[in-house]
Amino acid sequence: MTLTARIRRAFGTHWYAWTMVAPVVLVIGVIIGIPLVRGVYLSLTDANEANVERSIGMNHIPATYHFTGLDNYRAVLTDGVFWDRLGWTVVWTVGCVSLTFLTALALANLLNRRMRGRTFYRLALILPWAIPAFVSVFTWRMLYNEKNGILNKLLAGGGLDAVPWLNDPTWAKLSVIAVNVWLGVPFMLVALLGGLQSIPGELYEAAEMDGAGAWQRFRHITVPGLRAVSGTVILLSTIWTFNMFPVIFLLTRGGPGDATEILVTYAYRLSFVDSPRNFSASATWGMVILAVLALVAVGYRRALRKQGEVW
Amino acid sequence: MRRGIRGALATALVAGLALAATGCGSGGDGGGAAGGELSGTVTFWDTSNDAEKATYRKLAEGFQKEHPKVHVSYVNVPFGDANAKFKNAAGGGAGAPDVMRTEVAWVADFANLGYLAPLDGTPALDDTGDYLPQAVGSTKFGGKTYAAPQVIDTLALFYNKKLLQDAGVAVPKTFTELAAAAQKIKDKTGATALYLRGDDPYWFLPYLYGEGGDMVDAAHKKVTVDSAAGVRAFRTIKQLVDSKAAVTDATDGQENQLKALKDGTVAMAIDGPWDIEGARAGKAFQDKGNLGVAPVPGGSTAQGSPQGGWDLSVYAGSKNLQAAYAFVKYMSSAKVQQETTDKLSLLPTRKSVYNVPAVKQNEMVAFFKPAVDGAVQRPWIAQGNSLFEPLKVQMNKVLTGAATPEQAAKAVGDAYRKLLKDYT
**Is A145 within 8 Å of B252 when comparing Cβ atoms?**
yes
- Distance separating alpha carbons of residues B328 and B356, to the nearest angstrom: 22
* A308 pLDDT tier (thresholds 50, 70, 90): low
CB nearest A256 (choices: B116, B252, B400) = B400
Do residues B266 and B274 lie in contact, with contact meaning Cβ atoms separated by under 8 Å?
Answer: no
B119, closest residue in chain A (CA to CA): A58
Element (H, E) at A60: strand A59-61
Q: Is the pLDDT of residue A73 over 90?
A: yes
- Distance separating alpha carbons of residues A293 and B258, to the nearest angstrom: 43
- Distance separating alpha carbons of residues B6 and B320, to the nearest angstrom: 11
Q: What is the pLDDT of residues B342-376, one digit of tens each?
A: 999 899 999 999 999 989 998 888 888 888 888 99
Helix (H, G, I), strand (E, B) or coil at B296: coil
Do residues B31 and B123 lie in contact, with contact meaning Cβ atoms separated by under 8 Å?
Answer: yes
**Predicted local confidence at residue A180, as pLDDT:** 94
Do residues A112 and A197 lie in contact, with contact meaning Cβ atoms separated by under 8 Å?
Answer: yes
* A129 pLDDT tier (thresholds 50, 70, 90): confident
Report yes or no: B90 at the A interface, CB cutoff 8 Å.
yes
**Is A255 within 8 Å of B315 when comparing Cβ atoms?**
no
**Is A169 within 8 Å of B400 when comparing Cβ atoms?**
yes
Q: Is the pLDDT of residue A257 over 90?
A: no
In chain A, residues with a C-beta closer than 8 Å to the C-beta of B419 are 274
pLDDT, mean of residues B100-122: 94
* A46 pLDDT tier (thresholds 50, 70, 90): very high
Residue of B232, B239, B241 whose CA lies nearest to B206: B232
Listed by number, the residues of chain B in 132-191 with a beta carbon closer than 8 Å to a beta carbon of chain A are none
Residues in A whose CB is inside 8 Å of some CB of B read 49-50, 54, 56-61, 141, 145-148, 166-169, 172, 252-253, 255-259, 269, 272-277
Do residues A141 and A150 lie in contact, with contact meaning Cβ atoms separated by under 8 Å?
Answer: no
Higher pLDDT, B9 or B97: B97
pLDDT, mean of residues B306-328: 94
Helix (H, G, I), strand (E, B) or coil at A161: coil
B90, closest residue in chain A (CA to CA): A56
Report yes or no: B386 at the A interface, CB cutoff 8 Å.
yes
DSSP-assigned states of every residue in B217-271: ETTTTEE-TTSHHHHHHHHHHHHHHHTTSEEE-SS-HHHHHHHHHHHTSEEEEEE
* pTM of the shown model: 0.82
CB nearest A168 (choices: B252, B315, B400) = B400
**Predicted local confidence at residue B159, as pLDDT:** 95
Task: For residue A239, count CB atoms less than 10 angstroms from its CB and return exposed for 0-12, middle for 13-18, buried for 19 or more.
Answer: middle
**Is A59 within 8 Å of B419 when comparing Cβ atoms?**
no
Q: What are the residue boundaries of the structural domains of chain A, listed by start?
A: 76-306
**Is B382 within 8 Å of A258 when comparing Cβ atoms?**
no
Residue of B285, B234, B247, B245 whose CA lies nearest to B401: B234
Q: Is the pLDDT of residue B209 over 90?
A: yes
Selected residue of A60, A147, A153, A266 to mutate for chain B interface (largest B Cβ count, 10 A): A147
Do residues B338 and B353 lie in contact, with contact meaning Cβ atoms separated by under 8 Å?
Answer: yes
What's the Cα-to-Cα distance from B200 to each of A252, A280, B32, B151, rounded to whole Å? 13, 28, 41, 21
Cα of B76 to nearest chain A Cα, Å: 20
Selected residue of B112, B380, B393 to mutate for chain A interface (largest A Cβ count, 10 A): B393
Between the two ends of chain A, the Cα-to-Cα distance in Å is 36
B93, closest residue in chain A (CA to CA): A56
Report yes or no: B93 at the A interface, CB cutoff 8 Å.
yes
Listed as own residue / partner, the contacts of A208-214 with beta carbons closer than 8 Å and 24 or more positions apart are none
- Distance separating alpha carbons of residues B284 and B287, to the nearest angstrom: 8
Looking at the DSSP assignment, which residues form a beta bridge with residue B309?
B152
Selected residue of A56, A72, A138, A166 to mutate for chain B interface (largest B Cβ count, 10 A): A56
**Predicted local confidence at residue B214, as pLDDT:** 94
**Is B402 within 8 Å of A145 when comparing Cβ atoms?**
no
Residue of A184, A188, A217, A186 whose CA lies nearest to A201: A217
Residue of B312, B327, B310, B313 whose CA lies nearest to B117: B313
* B305 pLDDT tier (thresholds 50, 70, 90): very high
Helix (H, G, I), strand (E, B) or coil at B399: helix
Choose from A65-69, B20-24, B192-196 the range with maximum mean pLDDT.
Answer: B192-196
* A156 pLDDT tier (thresholds 50, 70, 90): confident
Task: For residue B30, count CB atoms less than 10 angstroms from its CB and return exposed for 0-12, middle for 13-18, buried for 19 or more.
Answer: middle
Cα of A156 to nearest chain B Cα, Å: 16
B398, closest residue in chain A (CA to CA): A257
Do residues B381 and B111 lie in contact, with contact meaning Cβ atoms separated by under 8 Å?
Answer: no
Higher pLDDT, B368 or B45: B45
How many CB atoms are located within 10 Å of the residue A86 CB?
A: 16
Q: What is the CA radius of gyration of chain B?
A: 22
Q: What was the ipTM of the complex prediction? A: 0.78
Q: What is the pLDDT of residues B53-80, one digit of tens each?
A: 999 999 999 999 999 999 999 999 998 8
Higher pLDDT, B3 or A276: A276
Report yes or no: B9 at the A interface, CB cutoff 8 Å.
no
Mean of per-residue pLDDT scores for chain A: 88
B105, closest residue in chain A (CA to CA): A275
Q: What is the pLDDT of residues B178-206, one digit of tens each?
A: 999 999 999 999 999 999 999 999 999 99
Residue of B229, B232, B244, B209 whose CA lies nearest to B398: B232
Do residues B316 and A59 lie in contact, with contact meaning Cβ atoms separated by under 8 Å?
Answer: yes
Do residues B164 and B171 lie in contact, with contact meaning Cβ atoms separated by under 8 Å?
Answer: yes
* B132 pLDDT tier (thresholds 50, 70, 90): very high
In chain A, residues with a C-beta closer than 8 Å to the C-beta of B249 are 146-147, 167
Query: Residue B183, Cα to own-chain centre: how many angstroms?
Result: 33
pLDDT, mean of residues B124-139: 91
**Predicted local confidence at residue B398, as pLDDT:** 94
Q: Which of A183-192, B228-237, B402-411 has the lowest mean pLDDT?
A: A183-192
pLDDT, mean of residues B305-330: 94
Q: Write phi, then psi, for B41 (nearest 5 degrees).
A: -115, 140
What's the Cα-to-Cα distance from B201 to each of A258, B80, B204, rounded to whole Å? 14, 13, 5
Looking at the DSSP assignment, which residues form a beta bridge with residue A301?
none
User: In sequence order, what E strands does B135-188 have?
Assistant: 140-141, 144-145, 148-154, 156-160
DSSP-assigned states of every residue in B51-97: TTHHHHHHHHHHHHHHSTTEEEEEEE--HHHHHHHHHHHHHHTSS--
In terms of phi and psi (left: phi > 0; alpha: psi -120 to 50; beta: otherwise), the region of A60 is beta
Q: What is the pLDDT of residues A246-255, one digit of tens each?
A: 999 999 888 7
- Distance separating alpha carbons of residues A136 and A141, to the nearest angstrom: 9
**Is A255 within 8 Å of B386 when comparing Cβ atoms?**
no
Interhelix angle B228-242/B405-419, rounded to 10 degrees, is 130
Helix (H, G, I), strand (E, B) or coil at B348: strand
% pLDDT > 70, chain A: 98
Cα of A104 to nearest chain B Cα, Å: 31
**Predicted local confidence at residue B8, as pLDDT:** 43
**Is A256 within 8 Å of B256 when comparing Cβ atoms?**
no
Go through B402-424 and write b for each residue having 16 or more CB atoms within 10 A of its CB, e for each that does not: bbebeebbbbbbebbeebbeebe
Do residues B334 and B350 lie in contact, with contact meaning Cβ atoms separated by under 8 Å?
Answer: yes
A271, closest residue in chain B (CA to CA): B84
Q: Is the pLDDT of residue B17 over 50?
A: no
CATH 3.40.309.10 fits A76-306, yes or no: no
**Is B383 within 8 Å of A275 when comparing Cβ atoms?**
yes
Q: Is the pLDDT of residue B264 over 80?
A: yes
- Distance separating alpha carbons of residues A143 and A274, to the nearest angstrom: 30
**Is A141 within 8 Å of B93 when comparing Cβ atoms?**
no
Looking at the DSSP assignment, which residues form a beta bridge with residue B314?
B99
A268, closest residue in chain B (CA to CA): B84
- Distance separating alpha carbons of residues B347 and A158, to the nearest angstrom: 47
Q: What is the pLDDT of residues B284-297, one digit of tens each?
A: 999 989 999 999 99
Looking at the DSSP assignment, which residues form a beta bridge with residue B102?
B311
Q: What is the pLDDT of residues A209-223, one digit of tens each?
A: 998 888 999 999 999
Selected residue of A275, A277, A279, A282 to mutate for chain B interface (largest B Cβ count, 10 A): A275
Choose from A4-18, B92-106, B364-378 the range with maximum mean pLDDT.
Answer: B92-106
**Is A54 within 8 Å of B91 when comparing Cβ atoms?**
yes
Q: Is the pLDDT of residue B32 over 60?
A: no
Cis preceding-peptide flag for A276 (omega within 30 of 0): yes
Element (H, E) at A192: helix A169-197
